[in-house]
Amino acid sequence: MAKIIISEDDFQKFQEYFYRKTGIQFEESKRYFVDKRLVERIEATASENFRGYFTMLRFQASGAELQALVNLMTINETYFFREEYQFACLVNSILPEIVARKKDKSPIRIWVIPSSSGEEPYSIAMCLLERWADINKWDVEIISSDIDTKILAQARAGLYSARSVKHVPKSYMQKYFRQTAHDYQLSEELRSAVEFTRVNLMESADVRQYRNFDVIFCRNLLIYFDDVSRKQAVETFYDALHPGGFICLGHSESMSRISSLYKIRKFPEAIVYQKPLEGR
Ligand SMILES: C[S@@+](CC[C@H](N)C(=O)[O-])C[C@H]1O[C@@H](n2cnc3c(N)ncnc32)[C@H](O)[C@@H]1O
């Protein structure tokens, strides 16, 4: 088989298409990363060249090839208790405000998007169980979503490397994990505390049903988007949140340039964003 070459023109076509589909913008500096994965899929699908593959990708009714490509192109870096100060903020500052307002005693709903392999939503579940005094008085629903179906399967399985659990407190390790030959397996109790779903944040048909959340964690995703996609994402979150609901972003992400829909709240532990309460 002849060596498959991705030309500059091919790269640009692909870059534009992938951006429209996912919001992810690949700069020229990511050329090697992108080309390598494209060639891998061109070969796996026995396509003749980029042109044949790209046509199939765009017109395939099932969307299976696009999903396979998305699973290869996403960067899933994450670990337990990453940016932990925000979990302290959730327990000490955000939840007390939410429960004080929740007169109807409806469940507290938390959306963690993107989930990657699940370390973030499971860390949140552990923090609530171990550090929030009111946990037994409230129903809490944690829903966690990602565009990558392969990483979601990993999240549901709850198997983690030593590197991934490095920052988990010892007592939580003993309580919530079981060591296997090669990994650490999360307990069934904790796995059942999080519901994982496939969502493309850039796809309005996917996000439409996500409503009535009290808190959204969207950390380390907006860094891969340009300002247009970021704006679309935070507008989606606006519709998904209750009035007065909160958003936590990653430490290098900010809303200031993208949207004025939210109020900035400076809590002792972290700066977060809040959808204004009606009439205020
Ligand atoms: C670096 S991980 C962040 C994981 C976790 N939130 C954290 O901060 O550790 C980025 C994740 O975003 C997901 N992602 C990329 N584009 C997405 C989109 N359009 N919709 C939903 N998830 C997306 C990727 O699949 C990947 O798992």
* Binned average pLDDT, 10 residues per bin, the chain of 280 residues: 88 96 93 96 96 96 96 97 97 97 95 98 98 97 98 98 97 97 95 98 97 98 93 96 97 87 95 84
> What per-residue confidence (pLDDT) applies to 259?
86
pTM listed for this prediction: 0.96
Mutation probe of ligand 1 site: the residue of 221, 247, 253 with most atoms within 8 A of C-beta: 221
Q: Domain 85-274 is of which CATH architecture?
A: 3-Layer(aba) Sandwich (3.40)
> What per-residue confidence (pLDDT) applies to 255?
86
DSSP notation for 118-140 = THHHHHHHHHHHHH-TTGGGS-E
Backbone phi and psi for residue 60, each to the nearest 5 degrees, phi listed first: -65, 125
Q: Alpha-carbon distance 67 to 45, whole Å?
A: 13
> What per-residue confidence (pLDDT) applies to 279?
47
Mutation probe of ligand 1 site: the residue of 70, 74, 112, 152 with most atoms within 8 A of C-beta: 74
Could you state, in order of their start, the residue ranges of all structural domains in the chain? 8-73, 85-274
Q: Alpha-carbon distance 97 to 107, whole Å?
A: 14
Q: How many CB atoms lie within 10 A of CB 109?
A: 22
> What per-residue confidence (pLDDT) applies to 254?
87
- CATH top-level class for 8-73? mainly alpha
- Do the domains 85-274 and 8-73 match in fold? no
Ligand 1 site, residue 218, Cβ cutoff 6 A: no
